[in-house]
Chain A
């Protein structure tokens, strides 16, 4: 058996493989949880492009903040957003941009 055919025989559990891939267009959530959050306010409801899937799955920091992660892990993504899209009055060149790591439950497919 080749390693590819072995992999083809395995069914990964839900959430085990990343939901998004590099280049996918996503939107960050627009919600305002009370307490511990890790998506800064200025980045809510923004359109973004997936630049990288963070290799190691991690716990949801927002749940971990309350001791509720129960060992469940998910994917973090490095997303790219032009600064002009974040700040309509941004004065620098259109190529200037921002990167941020976001846990999967903050991202929606566009």
Chain B
């Protein structure tokens, strides 16, 4: 926990990594950790070992919780959004109570947070942030991206949201109201982006494939056709 890449045995890889050749796109050094563990790495290890030693936790419980976290990815949120786009009744229930709406689809809230789903419209654009730390709708989106946790985004999203959005390539016209939601305690947010034009005949599954993590944070719209990467 807390460290990655300490497994230097590449034999188990299930894909051709193509080190140093064109197959991988960019040659790089073998990944390993050379630095001594930092203060917080050591503290985490010490606390974890103490909890296990005192039988307050088992190693299995820690592993299980990591599996819980690993099972939460933006693909879940995308399914919620796609369902809301195709099912008007579900959309209403989701906006009424985000957590209950997600629970309807089998998404559990292991951290006992509430969820408010914020609907983008032609008149309102929602953006989410946590200025105090990194509160994020993990049950539906998984772990937040690094930029979401860093101070520049956290400070600027509430001070100059339009400039931040422009840096993501999103220009919001002045007659569209921007609502920034700052997560602070027991409530998390998920942005319900606008369904892009031209998708009227698409299946729920195909719609879900259009919805990205950043669109559910509110920094970009959902686009169709998707822009070439």
Binding site for B on A (CB under 8 A): 38-40, 42-43, 52, 54-56, 58, 61, 76, 78, 83, 86-87, 90-93, 95-103
Determine the main DSSP class of A at the interface with B. mixed
> Are A97 and B177 CB-contacts (below 8 A) given A55-B114, A61-B185?
yes
A100 contact from B114, B181, B186, Cβ within 8 A: B181
The number of chain B residues with a CB under 8 A from chain A is 23
Chain A residue with minimal CB distance to B157?
A98
Whether A78 contacts B161 in the complex (CB less than 8 A), given A95-B177, A98-B180, A99-B180, comes out as no
Residues of A within 8 A of B131 (CB): 40, 42
Q: How far is the CA of A95 from the CA of B97 in the complex (A)?
A: 25
B71 at interface (Cβ–Cβ under 8 A)? Answer: no
Q: Is the pair A56, B114 in contact by a Cβ cutoff of 8 Å? A: yes
- On B, residues with C-beta under 8 Å from A are 97, 114, 116, 131-132, 158-162, 174-175, 177-187
User: Are B162 and A54 in touch, CB under 8 angstroms?
Assistant: no
- Nearest Cβ on chain B to A52's Cβ, whole angstroms: 8
Find chain B residues with CB under 8 A from A86 CB. Answer: 158
Distance of A92 Cα from B176 Cα, bound (Å): 11
Residues from chain B with a CB closer than 8 A to the CB of A42 are 131, 158
A87 in contact with B184 (CB, 8 Å) = no
Question: Considering the chains assembled together, what is the distance between the CA atoms of A58 and B112 in angstroms?
Answer: 10
Contact A101 B97 (CB under 8 A): no
Q: A76-B186, A95-B178, A101-B183 are known; give 18 further A-B pairs, CB within 8 A.
A: A38-B132, A52-B116, A56-B114, A61-B186, A76-B187, A86-B158, A90-B159, A90-B160, A93-B174, A93-B175, A95-B177, A97-B177, A97-B178, A97-B179, A99-B179, A100-B181, A101-B187, A103-B185
Q: Show 8 A/B contacts (Cβ-Cβ < 8 Å), sorted by A.
A: A54-B114, A54-B186, A58-B186, A83-B161, A90-B159, A97-B179, A99-B182, A103-B185
Please, how many angstroms separate the alpha-carbon atoms of A72 and B41 in the complex?
34
Chain B: minimal CB distance from A67 (Å) = 15
